[in-house]
């Protein structure tokens, strides 16, 4: 029998088992798969809520509206968009930087399982009983019940803490991977845009999410032991709530969108078959977006009464500047390139349109002096959730050859696009219009006028269309995922520009057989150009 006293090197897979794996590809799929399952949960609950508001009276949810609303908002905010981006980044970033591995793979595996367990416990908390005072989408806190809250509350808060810690750990690993494991020649200025956006997002996560965890610690103690810290009359508690726990008082809300801006930049460049027209401007805009996200902390306590979220103060409205710069860069790239009508490009176009719709409604609301909270619900679904969801879908369709070994179905992709884009548009429109009529938000039933009923129905139809779109995409992903082990598509189906397209589809366990030399931000374009030059 041989006993070794040194640590043997193993292939990058670590283990073939998904439970023990430290392979970035499997971990990425684990994060992404979990996020899509939680999306399905959030979508079903959202559909039930919309169904309730489509007609007069309370007929579907009974006395559970607040419980379901809290579940819908929390699952969508914490368990879908952030982990979906982490999943895509975990899979794609090591390939984009030519490393083929993560810096701290076991830490990342720990984060992945922590996220899945935390997510399951969070939903378990809502199943166990009605958690009270946990509406993180509400700007004002709810006092804890006398004598302490129930077990459902405690479980839900602890679960949110686990998910937040998992997000921080994954962000630490992604940032270290990008800073320390780049292939020679790939300077920070040459980083692919998705990797750049991932680095910025990771840094924003590392700086902002611990503050949320701090708020959760206080919330847990207050709820568990029946304290009065978050009683509405305690001004100090209200400020702490708004700056650490309330979703829109925190920089994290920008993280829904930030990685998507990088993904969209890569998608536009790849499918317009040319580098971005002004890479430096795009890179600066993404960094600026990350820095401005901290403006939500400086927005002051009056934000609670604001209707235009998250563009409620001049400081936070500045976020439109980097978005406009990026939109111009993408448009310029499309005009100078030869766009290919790939589903991922449709998703990017849809996200830009939703953002434009949101901006127009913000202007209209400012001019009309709208004070109805239903308007905010429309803005939330169009801008804060709809546009980033389209970008996640775009990223999945774009990198599908690497994720699943083959492209997803273009037909189903277009159908999913129509469902998600059209659905979010209708859903937002119904709520915006109800808002212009001063309709309320977060209620099981409207104080009825004829228009409220119509708008509620319009938003419910939008919700159904979103659900159909999401399920179409999920079906496409599940079919491709099932055949991943035997799939072997072309390495570079799009004539891509960045390093992930230099390896096999799906990539081998070590990531790369050999990494091309990097002399610019578009190493594969350089390779093709020099090959053409040598041919003739």
Partner 1 sequence: MASPTLALPAAGGTRPRGVLTQAMIFVVVGGTMFFGALLAAYLHMRKISHPFPAEGTEIDEYWGNVMVGTMFMSAFTVEWGVSALRRNERTQALAGFGLTVALGLCFLNLLSFSSGHAAFDAVSNSYGLVVTAMVMALGIVAGIGVALCTLTLFRVAGRQLLEPDTEQPRATAIYWHFAVAASMAVWYTVIVLK
Question: Interface residues with partner 1 (CB under 8 A)?
Answer: 1-5, 7-14, 22-23, 101-107, 109, 168, 171-173, 175-176, 179-181, 206-211, 213-215, 217-218, 221-222, 224-229, 234-237, 239-240, 244
In the complex, the smallest distance separating the C-beta of residue 5 from partner 1, rounded to whole angstroms, is 6
In the complex, the smallest distance separating the C-beta of residue 158 from partner 1, rounded to whole angstroms, is 13
Where residue 448 falls (left for φ over 0; alpha for ψ -120 to 50; beta otherwise) is beta
> Residues near 110 by Cβ (< 8 Å), separated by ≥ 6?
169
Alpha carbons 391 and 286: distance in angstroms, whole number: 15
Alpha carbons 30 and 203: distance in angstroms, whole number: 22
In the complex, the smallest distance separating the C-beta of residue 180 from partner 1, rounded to whole angstroms, is 5
Alpha carbons 390 and 287: distance in angstroms, whole number: 21
In the complex, the smallest distance separating the C-beta of residue 259 from partner 1, rounded to whole angstroms, is 17
In the complex, the smallest distance separating the C-beta of residue 38 from partner 1, rounded to whole angstroms, is 24
Q: DSSP 3-state assignment of 251?
A: coil
User: What torsion do the CA atoms of 264, 172, 255, 495 make, to the nearest 10 degrees?
Assistant: 10
On the question of a cis peptide bond just before residue 270, with omega within 30 degrees of 0, the verdict is no
In the complex, the smallest distance separating the C-beta of residue 422 from partner 1, rounded to whole angstroms, is 40
> Residues near 72 by Cβ (< 8 Å), separated by ≥ 6?
42, 45, 46, 49
Pick 248 or 417: Cβ nearer partner 1: 248
In the complex, the smallest distance separating the C-beta of residue 243 from partner 1, rounded to whole angstroms, is 8
Alpha carbons 411 and 121: distance in angstroms, whole number: 36
Pick 243 or 271: Cβ nearer partner 1: 243
Alpha carbons 307 and 364: distance in angstroms, whole number: 12
Pick 25 or 274: Cβ nearer partner 1: 25
Pick 103 or 264: Cβ nearer partner 1: 103
In the complex, the smallest distance separating the C-beta of residue 265 from partner 1, rounded to whole angstroms, is 25
Pick 181 or 527: Cβ nearer partner 1: 181
Write the DSSP string, 269-337.
HHHTTS--TTHHHHHHHHHHHHHHGGGGGGS-GGGGG-SSSS--SHHHHTTHHHHHHHHHHHHHHHHHS
Among residues 175, 5, 165, the alpha carbon closest in space to that of 93 is found at 175
Pick 15 or 453: Cβ nearer partner 1: 15
Alpha carbons 518 and 378: distance in angstroms, whole number: 45
Pick 9 or 305: Cβ nearer partner 1: 9
User: What torsion do the CA atoms of 423, 428, 430, 434 make, to the nearest 10 degrees?
Assistant: 170
> Residues near 177 by Cβ (< 8 Å), separated by ≥ 6?
93, 94, 97, 99, 102, 103, 104
In the complex, the smallest distance separating the C-beta of residue 81 from partner 1, rounded to whole angstroms, is 20
Pick 187 or 228: Cβ nearer partner 1: 228
Looking at 380-449, list the stretches that DSSP marks H as alpha helix, in order from N- to C-terminal side: 387-398, 400-404, 410-436
Alpha carbons 201 and 207: distance in angstroms, whole number: 10
Residue owning tokens 């193993």 = 10
In the complex, the smallest distance separating the C-beta of residue 6 from partner 1, rounded to whole angstroms, is 8
Pick 38 or 115: Cβ nearer partner 1: 115
Q: DSSP 3-state assignment of 519?
A: coil
CA 367 to centroid of chain Cα atoms = 31
Pick 171 or 365: Cβ nearer partner 1: 171
Pick 156 or 355: Cβ nearer partner 1: 156
Report the first-to-last Cα separation within the chain, whole angstroms. 60
Pick 148 or 332: Cβ nearer partner 1: 148
In the complex, the smallest distance separating the C-beta of residue 261 from partner 1, rounded to whole angstroms, is 22
In the complex, the smallest distance separating the C-beta of residue 66 from partner 1, rounded to whole angstroms, is 24
In the complex, the smallest distance separating the C-beta of residue 487 from partner 1, rounded to whole angstroms, is 23
Pick 2 or 534: Cβ nearer partner 1: 2
Q: Identify whether the C-beta of residue 95 lies closer than 8 Å to the C-beta of residue 402.
A: yes
């Amino acid at each position: 029998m041989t006993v070794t006293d040194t640590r043997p090197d193993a292939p990058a897979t670590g283990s073939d088992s998904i439970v023990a794996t430290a392979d970035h590809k499997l971990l990425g799929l684990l994060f992404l798969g979990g996020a899509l399952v939680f999306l399905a949960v959030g979508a079903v609950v959202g559909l039930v809520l919309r169904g309730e508001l489509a007609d007069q009276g309370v007929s579907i949810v009974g006395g559970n509206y607040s419980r379901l609303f809290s579940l819908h908002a929390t699952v969508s905010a914490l368990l879908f968009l952030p982990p979906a981006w982490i999943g895509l980044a975990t899979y794609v970033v090591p390939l984009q930087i030519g490393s083929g591995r993560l810096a701290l793979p076991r830490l990342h595996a720990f984060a992945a399982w922590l996220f899945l367990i935390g997510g399951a416990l969070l939903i378990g908390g809502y199943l166990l009983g009605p958690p009270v005072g946990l509406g993180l989408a509400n700007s004002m806190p709810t006092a804890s019940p006398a004598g302490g809250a129930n077990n459902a509350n405690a479980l839900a808060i602890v679960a949110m803490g686990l998910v937040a810690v998992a997000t921080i750990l994954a962000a630490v690993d992604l940032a270290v991977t990008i800073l320390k494991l780049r292939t020679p020649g790939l300077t920070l200025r040459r980083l692919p845009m998705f990797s750049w956006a991932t680095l910025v997002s990771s840094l924003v996560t590392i700086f902002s999410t611990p503050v949320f965890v701090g708020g959760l610690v206080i919330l847990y103690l207050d709820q568990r032991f029946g304290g009065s810290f978050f009683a509405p009359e305690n001004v100090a508690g209200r400020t702490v709530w708004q700056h650490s726990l309330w979703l829109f008082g925190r920089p994290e809300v920008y993280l829904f969108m930030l990685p998507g801006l990088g993904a969209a930049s890569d998608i536009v460049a790849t499918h317009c078959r040319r580098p971005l027209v002004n890479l430096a401007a795009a890179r600066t805009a993404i960094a600026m977006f990350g820095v401005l996200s901290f403006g939500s902390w400086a927005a002051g306590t009056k934000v609670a009464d604001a209707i235009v979220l998250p563009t409620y103060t001049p400081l936070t409205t500045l976020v439109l500047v980097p978005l406009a710069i990026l939109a111009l860069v993408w448009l310029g790239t499309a005009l100078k390139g030869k766009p290919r009508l790939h589903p991922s490009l449709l998703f990017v176009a849809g996200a830009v349109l939703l953002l434009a719709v949101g901006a127009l409604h913000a202007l209209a609301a400012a001019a009309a002096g709208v004070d109805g909270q239903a308007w905010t619900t429309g803005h939330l679904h169009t801008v804060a959730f709809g546009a980033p969801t389209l970008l996640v879908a775009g990223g999945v369709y774009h990198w599908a050859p690497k994720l699943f070994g083959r492209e997803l179905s273009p037909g189903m992709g277009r159908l999913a696009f129509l469902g998600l884009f059209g659905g979010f548009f209708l859903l937002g429109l119904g709520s915006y219009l109800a808002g212009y009529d001063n309709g309320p938000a977060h209620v099981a039933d409207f104080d009825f006028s004829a228009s409220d009923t119509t708008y509620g129905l319009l938003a419910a139809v939008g919700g159904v269309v979103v659900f159909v779109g999401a399920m179409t995409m999920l079906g496409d992903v599940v079919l491709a995922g099932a055949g991943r082990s035997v799939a072997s598509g072309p390495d570079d189906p799009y004539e891509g520009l960045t390093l992930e397209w230099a390896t096999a589809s799906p990539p081998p366990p070590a990531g790369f057989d050999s990494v091309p030399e990097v002399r610019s931000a578009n190493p594969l374009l350089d390779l093709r150009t020099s090959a053409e030059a040598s041919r003739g």
